A = this chain, B = another copy of it.
Amino acid sequence: MGATLRDVAREARVSTATVSRVINGRGNVTHETRARILGVVERLRYVPDSVARSLSTGLTHTIGVLLPDLHGEFFSEIIRGIDQAARRRGLHLLLSGIHGSAAEAALAIRALKGRVDGLLIMSPYADSAFLADHSADDTPAVLMNSPVRGNSHSSFCLDNRGGARAMVRHLAGVGHRRIAFIAGPRDNFDATERLAGYCEAMAELGPDLKELVLHGDFSEESGYRAAQRILALDERTDAVFAANDMMALGCLHAFNEARVSVPGDVALAGFDDIPMARFVSPPLSTVRVPMAELGARALDGIAAAASAPAATPNFTEIVATELVVRASCGAGLRDPGGESDARRGQRAPVV
């Protein structure tokens, strides 16, 4: 067991209050006394116990982060953004993956009671009603990319809908008419928003556009199978827009296998801009989602709410997405190797 505050106080022949003041830099201590105490602290290798401190101050300097899954780029980028923002503010992160049911999510939330100053939640189950039921009223929470009903909580959302609309407009703009969409899981918030964006844009762009929606589950394999179904159709499809990049890559595999040229025979686009997107051939047109930024903004939001619970009004903030045009959508960039275009991506080698 390490030394405690009382040990230090005894050794330095002062009261615990004085030691505490020195540790926390609150004034009103003589130079001399302070030096003596610091000497003892050093000698005893005293390190304050965070848990005890949290108990008496009610502050943990920790934010609980609940994510539905920890798989892949998508989440690692969010975590990275959150971590950076947390570091800037001197906050710790308590990470929890909630894989299963709403019940598991609820359990995770209670287990965090007292341990965190605020909650950052991304989960299909986490709408406001759910939180009201399971989260303590005294722990502020903000939602990321989750369905928000009512405004009892702040939330940060990607502009999935706008991004999908932009991509559809772009595809239509370069002449594609029959644009198929491979949707994601039905119960996934991002997926339904992207689908909605596709539908909106198709409707808006007029009746000569031909809608076609297939269902996938965000996995590469489901994209592969969807592409096969598309190839089996009688009618020709001009373009395939997958609700995420992994499914687009699955499509690409299927098209390659079937000797269908991309973008020659069919245009292809994804969503997310995972790092792989610019490395495949042809480089994949996609919609970039700034996950790290989303994470960082959300952390800033919850940090503000945690430090001034009452003063922070609830709001919903939309984080913009960005259309990334590469060769796969056939937008006049017929460079098959995609070399020149790859340089357009971030982190391209500097010559």
Which A residues are closer than 8 A to B by beta carbons? 1-2, 45, 47-55, 60, 62, 70-73, 75-76, 79-80, 83-84, 87, 92-97, 99, 110-115, 136-138, 219-221, 223-225, 249-250, 253-254, 256-257, 275-276, 279-281, 337, 339, 342, 347, 349-350
Contact = CB atoms under 8 A, between A and B. Distances in A.
Given A76-B73, A342-B253, A111 B92 contact: yes
Contact of A51 (B2, B115, B257, B281): B115
**Which interface residue of A52, A71, A94, A349 has the most chain B CB atoms within 10 A?**
A349
A220 B349 CA distance: 7
Given A337-B256, A349-B253, A80 B71 contact: yes
A42 to B, nearest CB: 13
A15 B96 CA distance: 34
Given A72-B76, A279-B276, A257 B113 contact: no
B221 A349 contact: yes
Nearest to A223: B349
B349 A224 contact: yes
A254 B112 CA distance: 49
Count copies of this chain in the complex.
2
A249 B113 contact: no
Given A97-B83, A279-B276, A349-B225, A48 B220 contact: no
Contact of A2 (B71, B79, B137): B137
A221 B345 CA distance: 13
15 contacts: A47-B113, A47-B136, A50-B113, A51-B60, A72-B76, A83-B95, A84-B97, A87-B99, A92-B112, A94-B95, A95-B95, A250-B349, A253-B349, A275-B276, A276-B279
A160 B200 CA distance: 51
B55 A51 contact: yes
A53 B248 CA distance: 49
A350 B51 contact: no
Contact of A93 (B95, B114, B250, B347): B95
